[in-house]
Amino acid sequence: MAQQIIVALTLVVFPALMAYSASSDLFTMTIPNRVCMALVVGYFGLALAAGLPASAVAINFSCAFGVLALTFFFFSMGWIGGGDAKLAAATALWLGWTELLDYGVLTSALGGVLTLTIVVSRKMQLPQWAARLDWVARLHNADSGIPYGVALAAAGLALYPHSQLWQLVAGR
């Protein structure tokens, strides 16, 4: 029974928090700190419950700290938002060093498509029904940023089945 709960939580916690962070960024242009904290606490709890070796947990924490240092440099340069920096680091915790390069490449590709889509759509006139939606109007505003958390979350979700935690719980 306990193993079934661990499997269920492994299948639900990360994907649900990724979906929430993406939708929050899309609709409000913010990624709440509580989501990133929930990702960290959720990882630690599930890793412990699933029996992931302490050395693997420590290595994944080093990955998260490395990503946090890099992304906060990007934030200090004004290249990304603070929520994006924290989300990238929290996601790196779940994925670890083995998936980090793929995560960066996939996030960049998805983020590029997202950015181009939004930039091109900003050159078009919004239909009246869409202009009345605050979040659509905000996305359409050229002075507004790009909700890059959508790309971060999508890439994290795509790579999650390759993570050590997923592999351990799936029995691979």
Residues 13-37 pLDDT 10s? 999 999 999 999 999 999 999 999 9
In whole angstroms, what is the distance from residue 133 CA to residue 138 CA? 9
DSSP 37-97: HHHHHHHHHHHHHHT--HHHHHHHHHHHHHHHHHHHHHHHTTSS-HHHHHHHHHHHHHH-H
In whole angstroms, what is the distance from residue 30 CA to residue 70 CA? 20
Number of domains in the chain: 1
Tell me if residue 126 falls in helix, strand or coil: coil
In whole angstroms, what is the distance from residue 124 CA to residue 79 CA? 25
Is residue 96 within 8 A of residue 60, CB to CB? The reply is: yes
In whole angstroms, what is the distance from residue 57 CA to residue 144 CA? 37
Entry pTM: 0.93
Domain hosting residue 61, numbered range: 2-170
More confident residue, 10 or 84: 84
- Whether the per-residue pLDDT at 134 is higher than 80: the answer is yes
Q: Which amino acid is at 5?
A: I
pLDDT for residue 172:
60
Placement of tokens 């409000």 in the chain: 28
Tokens found for residue 158: 């795509």
Residues 138-154 pLDDT 10s? 999 988 899 999 999 99
Of 127, 151, 142, 137, nearest to 27 by C-alpha is 137
Residues 60-110 pLDDT 10s? 999 999 999 999 999 999 999 999 999 999 999 999 999 999 999 999 999
